[in-house]
Chain A
Amino acid sequence: MTIVKDRLKSATAAPTRAARLNPLIVLVVGAAIIVALTYTLPPFRTYQLATVGAYLCVTAGLTVLTGLNGQLSLGHGALMATGAYTLALWQNKFNLLAVGIVVAILVTTAVGAVIGLAAARLRGPYLAGLTLAVAVVVPSITSTFDETFNSDQGLSVILNPPPESMTVEQWQAWLCWGAALITVFALTILTRGRFGRDMRAVRDDETAARLAGISVARTQVSAFVVSAACAGLAGALFAVIAQSVSPGAFPLTLSLFLLMAIVIGGLGRLTGALIGALLLVALPAIAHEIGESAGSQRLEGNLALTFFGVVLVVVMLAAPGGLASLRIPFRRFRTKKH
């Protein structure tokens, strides 16, 4: 029993230091920075900022699932597609955005619960295999039920124009970051409480967790459902940003990119999820710049993947805990002085 306690202690030791940080302050500061940015950045950067916000919703949820609960999902792209298509179908029928986003989250949560129930019975590569299958099946579903989903062409999303006082890009950024900040806030509260401890306990040792009275299956399914809800929200936001949904927006590579991003950023940390979300937008853009300066537009289609791979290898060698685990020198200096 002492061993179990030790294990639980070691698992919860890391975040206690961060727990001093009040998430409300992060929420307010984050919102202030975003508002400031949307008034200073040019439109395309604002659009990219909005995309980072949408990505943050899904990376935050995924890092909780994979980093804190130890469940590997290669299928979050498919969950995003679920949210996106739900929103598109809802908007084209009712055109009520706020309700649509909630409905998208609910539907994705339900789908996530089904996958999560199956996932809770699977371990390691088998779980990866199941979620991988979910990611692969998206294009087939859209072309099989093409009357509803319109195959590869996808659906356009009817949206009311934003209020006159702001540009489309500002509105997108506010919407996405509003959702992202709320997601991060909710996940922080959730993971710092009992649920977070349960998740970590299950990740570290299922038997020990069971002995400590934690329902392993329920924890795993709950973790999957939470991260599915986040993915559904992200998908809905992507549908809003792009004003369209198509299977090509949610390919298998997206699911892999998401996983790579949170690993590079730092698994299990929400700051890592933020870094990951930034990289998801920045790396393809950098790849594009390189492709353009190299004079070959054909390069960029394939360069982003290479880029991610190289960054992943370098980060894993230099900082196995991801970029979020890196300490900035002046900080270490100050800690020493203490």
Chain B
Amino acid sequence: MKRTATVLVAAVLLAAAGCSNSGNGSGTSSADTPGVTDTEIVVGTHMPLTGPAAAGYSKIAPATKAYFDYVNANGGIHGRKITYKIMDDGYNPANTQQVVRQLVLQDKVFAILNGLGTPTHSGVLDFLKTNRVPDLFVASGSRSWNQPDKYPGTFGFNPDYTVEGKILATHVKEKFAGKKVCFLGQDDDFGRDSLAGIEKVLGPVAAKQTYVTSNPNVGPQMGALKAAACEVVMLATVPGFTALSIGTGAKIGFKPQYVVSNVGSDPTTLAKTLGPAAGLLEGVVAANYLPLANDSANPWIQLYTKVNSQYNNNAEMDNNVVYGMSVAYLFVQALQSAGKDLTRDGIIAAVQKGGFTGPGLVPVRYSATDHSGYGGEQLTTIEGGQAKYFGKAFRTDDKDAAVEVYESSPAAPPANGIPAA
């Protein structure tokens, strides 16, 4: 009995050791809004800093934080400085459950910003909804984020994979007419949504294969695509698996035209992963909707480069850094729009109001009935190791709308690099 009692007492003490404050509410003024004080806004995220998706993606959150640090150094937003808590989930949905609970219940963040990954973030939607936590600008193109009725606090950021699939497939249809088109995708909503978009435009593909991130071998898949004599292979893959697929293909003497989803196409990450085989990337077609990191004439890139050198230890500029800072810029815009009296409902209303202009080639789509992010993309190709845009930006939706050209050019950044109220 003594020992059992001792153990139980120890359990109580251990559990009680970390408790400091309780009480949770989504108040109606910023005074009782979790994560918001007069001087600080605490925001959290879950990111793959380790594990199968860390290549490239691990640079996003530090870039977002760097931009926040830049804003903080310039006085913050309505006198509040932004604290960005980055949690590593290793791209494992089970870890995401854990770290997001920690952010919400223990660290009491105001919002979750830019949580990365389709399989990972899908699992925390219900939890965030139950706790009424704004779930802003999810770093994935799944259509699940756009369910305003079911998940009123969740907003996407990336163009959804179906939109992207339609745009990429339209290019394939025009440029590679009559060729045998095949597909390799991640075995989750990412791959399925992408394939849905592609097949809306092209009809059924000649062969389709899937992979899982927990098994880093795509030999059988690439072998099957080679056996099916594919001439164009469309990839819905994360960067590590884009490199793996192209490399594995080359090893078995299979070099089709690759057309890659935006999320798996950052040339800097791919070149680094492929190492001496980086030459295989030549001619790979992909798409993007933000300025390209190597476009040093672009005013946004100039701004980001400045922030990157001052607040991000001068990390190598790539499209992940551009992405991370663009997310931060959009969040600051939303904070400005929500005003001084910051509440959880307030920021959701501000994002729904929309009207944000930023670095994107096409606008974000936010409204009360649409919670999806960017509405289109422009195609890129790799020449001489450098990615560059070609053609025009396209817009479409995830249903049956036609893929149409978007003509307006993107806005210029404000002089001080921080969006005004």
> Mask for B1-15, Cβ within 8 A of A = 1, else 0?
111111110111011
CB-defined contacts of B58 to chain A, threshold 8 Å: 298
A241 → chain B closest CB, angstroms: 8
Q: Is the CB of B101 within 8 A of A33?
A: no
**Interface residue B313 (Cβ < 8 Å from any Cβ of A):** no
Report the bound CA distance from A168 to B188 in whole Å: 28
CB-defined contacts of B94 to chain A, threshold 8 Å: 242, 246, 248-250
Known: A152-B187, A248-B92. A48 touches B15 (CB 8 A): yes
Instruction: Count residues of chain B with CB under 8 A from any CB of chain A.
Output: 53
A59 → chain B closest CB, angstroms: 13
CB-defined contacts of A150 to chain B, threshold 8 Å: 188
Q: Which residues in chain A, 306-333, are within 8 Å of chain B measured between CB atoms? A: 324, 328, 331
Q: Which residues in chain A, 248-263, are within 8 Å of chain B measured between CB atoms? A: 248-251
Q: Is the CB of A243 within 8 A of B21?
A: no
B122 → chain A closest CB, angstroms: 6
Q: Is the CB of A153 within 8 A of B119?
A: yes
Report the bound CA distance from A251 to B51 in whole Å: 13
Q: Is the CB of A297 within 8 A of B87?
A: yes
Q: Is the CB of B49 within 8 A of A21?
A: no
- The prevalent SS among residues of A at the interface is helix
Report the bound CA distance from A161 to B10 in whole Å: 32
Q: Which residues in chain A, 52-83, are within 8 Å of chain B measured between CB atoms? A: 52
CB-defined contacts of B15 to chain A, threshold 8 Å: 37, 41, 45, 48-49, 52
Q: Is the CB of A300 within 8 A of B215?
A: no
**Interface residue B118 (Cβ < 8 Å from any Cβ of A):** yes
Pick from B164-172, B206-214, B248-256, B386-394 the stretch touching chain A.
B206-214
CB-defined contacts of A274 to chain B, threshold 8 Å: 7, 11
Report the bound CA distance from A139 to B94 in whole Å: 13
CB-defined contacts of A247 to chain B, threshold 8 Å: 214
Q: Categorize the interface residue count of chain A.
A: 35 or more
CB-defined contacts of A52 to chain B, threshold 8 Å: 11, 15
Report the bound CA distance from A68 to B50 in whole Å: 39
B371 → chain A closest CB, angstroms: 19
Known: A41-B19, A45-B19, A282-B14. A301 touches B90 (CB 8 A): yes
Known: A242-B94, A298-B49. A40 touches B123 (CB 8 A): no
Residue from B2, B4, B123 within 8 A of A156 (CB atoms): B123
CB-defined contacts of B21 to chain A, threshold 8 Å: 42
Report the bound CA distance from A65 to B384 in whole Å: 62
User: A-B contact count, CB below 8 Å?
Assistant: 144
Q: Is the CB of A243 within 8 A of B126?
A: yes
B119 → chain A closest CB, angstroms: 4
CB-defined contacts of A42 to chain B, threshold 8 Å: 19-22, 105-106
Q: Is the CB of B19 within 8 A of A47?
A: no
Q: Which residues in chain B, 103-130, are within 8 Å of chain A measured between CB atoms? A: 105-106, 118-119, 122-123, 125-127, 130
A294 → chain B closest CB, angstroms: 13
Q: Is the CB of B88 within 8 A of A271?
A: no
B353 → chain A closest CB, angstroms: 30
**Interface residue A124 (Cβ < 8 Å from any Cβ of B):** no
CB-defined contacts of A248 to chain B, threshold 8 Å: 92-95, 214
**Interface residue B16 (Cβ < 8 Å from any Cβ of A):** yes
Residue from B87, B90, B123, B130 within 8 A of A242 (CB atoms): B123
Interface residues of A (CB under 8 A from B): 20-21, 25-26, 29-30, 33, 37, 40-45, 47-49, 52, 139-140, 143, 146, 150-154, 156, 161, 168-169, 242-244, 246-251, 271, 274-275, 278, 282, 288, 297-298, 300-302, 324, 328, 331
- Not counting A26-B4, A33-B12, A297-B49, a sample of 12 additional A-B residue pairs whose C-beta atoms are within 8 angstroms of each other reads A37-B12, A43-B105, A47-B101, A49-B15, A139-B214, A146-B187, A154-B123, A242-B97, A275-B7, A278-B10, A288-B102, A331-B2
The 10 closest A-B pairs by CB, nearest first: A249-B94, A44-B105, A153-B119, A44-B106, A153-B188, A301-B50, A248-B92, A244-B123, A151-B187, A42-B22
Interface residues of B (CB under 8 A from A): 1-8, 10-12, 14-16, 18-22, 24, 49-51, 58, 86-88, 90, 92-95, 97, 101-102, 105-106, 118-119, 122-123, 125-127, 130, 187-189, 210, 212-215
